[in-house]
Amino acid sequence: MGSRLVCGIVAGVAGGFVYGLMLYIMTVPAPGYEFLTGIQLLARSVGSDRAVVGWAVHLGVSAVIGALFGLLAGGLARDSAGVAAWGLLFGLAFWGLDMLIVTPRLLGLPPVLALGEQALWAILPGSLMGHLVFAAILAGAFMWLRPRLGRSPAARR
């Protein structure tokens, strides 16, 4: 279980880094501000204006999602197709959670009911793409790391 957890965390941070680059470029219409990047929006969610804080929040969440992925997918998937399927499922699930609850709250909108807001619809395609890129890297990095980190120290010698 420990190696699945570590592989998941590392894979989550790898996927989070690439998705974070996308968030650093993509802008979001935010109340009271013209436009913010996704990273700036994350920083503001914890009371900061510093991009490094937004990155820390984003990579921390990515590590947690990666840990969950490692524990669930690593224990249930028996082959690379199973890991890829779990990655797709995670990407879609967290995209839905993000678009229905997290992002509306960050934009000062009520969760779920915000689907009527045009600003939220404007960011749906980019957000879906980012979550799927994150999921693909998460699954791919997990599959690459697992045989390298999943063996006991005695087996590596």
Q: Give the CATH number of the domain where residue 112 resides.
A: 1.10.1760
Residue with token string 């087996």? 155
Q: Is 67 a member of any domain? A: yes
Q: Is 32 a member of any domain? A: yes
pLDDT for res 74? 80
pLDDT for res 17? 98
Q: Is 102 a member of any domain? A: yes
Domain total for the chain? 1
Backbone angles phi, psi at 77, to 5 degrees: -80, 130
Asked if the model's pLDDT at residue 123 lies above 60, the reply is yes
Q: Is 82 a member of any domain? A: yes
pLDDT for res 156? 44
Q: Which residues lie below 8 Å from residue 41, measured CB to CB, with a gap of 6+?
A: 28, 30, 54, 106, 107
**54, 42 Cβ separation under 8 angstroms:** yes
pLDDT for res 150? 63
**133, 15 Cβ separation under 8 angstroms:** yes
Instruction: Enter the pTM of the model.
Output: 0.86
pLDDT for res 114? 62
Q: Is 73 a member of any domain? A: yes
Domain encompassing residue 89: 2-150
Q: Which residues lie below 8 Å from residue 71, measured CB to CB, with a gap of 6+?
A: 1, 4, 5, 8
pLDDT for res 22? 95
Nearest CA to 36 out of 125, 119, 129, 92 is that of: 119
Q: Is 157 a member of any domain? A: no
Backbone CA torsion sign across 60, 126, 133, 73: positive
Q: What is the mean pLDDT of residues 114-121?
A: 68
